[in-house]
Amino acid sequence: MNLETSRSNYESPPLLEANVCADPAEQLRSWLDEAYAHAQVPEPNAMSLATVGANGRPSLRIVLLRGLDDRGLSFYTSYFSRKGQEIAQNARVAATFFWPQMHRQVRVEGTVAQLSDDESDAYFASRPRGHQLSAWASEQSEPVERREILAERMAHFDERFAGEEVPRPHSWGGYLISPEYVEFWQGQANRLHDRLVYERRNGAWEVRRLQP
């Protein structure tokens, strides 16, 4: 591997202002639909989520987008995880989708807040039972001496909730990112990439082009 010479060449149709939706949520949904239709794109709803804690240090991880509507983007996690704790300290976050097979990237910046209990309950009820049990068994981001402890905790909660529905832990639920800035990036030949940015101004979305 030679990092200095390793590169991909992009050959894609141009991303033009005349061809994008007026609302970034609609445009993101359109690109997500195309990513899901592309056989070689794994988990199109995977997004990098960046948070910043009280110490000013950013942290980044992959989460799965679980909802998209005119309010924003939603995902689910433990409130007591590192990202949950950092969100409680600083509500400003950033997220990125990257679909290299399609030469596309989407960047989102905005504020985040917890979803309602009703929404979190409804999503939790839709999860596979094993995923529900792991939300009880794992104290996310906390140290553990050995993996066997997690297996023991899974077995404990499996027995505890035997024959009944698994309730949502109060420490686990959803978050909604309310976007203020959304950038759609389309790779182009010779690194003259297309970058269209949506920003809220006076309550409406405005679109402008950035140089690559």
- Point out the residues that are catalytic: 191
Closest by CA to 81, choosing from 73, 70, 89, is: 89
**Tokens 């591997």 identify what position?**
1
Per-residue b/e over 107-119, b at no fewer than 16 CB within 10 Å? bbbbebeebeeeb
Structural contact between residues 84 and 120, judged by C-beta atoms closer than 8 angstroms:
no
DSSP annotation of 203 reads: T
Q: Is the dihedral of CA 35, 125, 84, 177 positive or negative?
A: positive
